[in-house]
Copies of this chain bind each other. A is one copy, B any other.
């Protein structure tokens, strides 16, 4: 039952994050298409962040399916993850409104990196409390995606100061990597049931 409430709380926070981001798209005073132009970069960063939150929601759901009991450590690791994700609307708006300057691009990467580390810690705690033979441990295997993402975020942060396009491309690349269907956990759950 605790697990259900933790999921419901996480769902609520993610639903609000994904929706209030759109508030950064400030309604322009002009009523012609010209007035929308300045909003295009904000819109672009909104689309990227929307996809990131959706990925986190999806991964979080799959991971929680393998959880039997929620300890205090898991609870706080989850709160830690939500903290980083709660900063995404801010960095999204900052990045979009200032046309992807190097400072804004690097901070965007820092928040993504923080969320990735928080997710990694949460995953570690869940595996530790469920045993090495648990579904999640088996499903993750080498966890290539989980290991390569933080490296790419660091690259994105560094390249933010060199070339904004490369930095942005790296953040988009990570999103694409995660969008590619990942059946590991679903498979592991099915095999467990056999």
> Which residues in A have some Cβ–Cβ distance to B below 8 Å?
1-2, 5, 7-9, 11-20, 22-25, 27-33, 36, 47, 50, 54, 57-58, 61, 65, 72, 75-76, 79, 82-83, 86-87, 89-90, 93-94, 97-99, 101, 103-104, 107, 179, 181, 183
Contacts and interface: CB of A to CB of B under 8 A. Distances in A.
Contact of A79 (B7, B54, B72): B54
Copies in the complex: 4
Contacts of A98: 29-31
Given A19-B17, A23-B23, A50-B83, A103 B29 contact: no
Given A32-B103, A90-B25, A98-B31, A13 B19 contact: yes
Contact of A31 (B18, B31, B65, B99): B99
A30 B95 CA distance: 10
Q: Is the interface of A mostly helix, strand, loop or mixed?
A: helix
Nearest to A50: B83
A10 B153 CA distance: 29
Interface centre among A20, A27, A94 (most CB of B within 10 A): A27
Closest 8 CB pairs between A and B?
Answer: A31-B98, A12-B15, A31-B101, A27-B93, A16-B19, A54-B79, A13-B15, A25-B90
Contacts of A7: 5
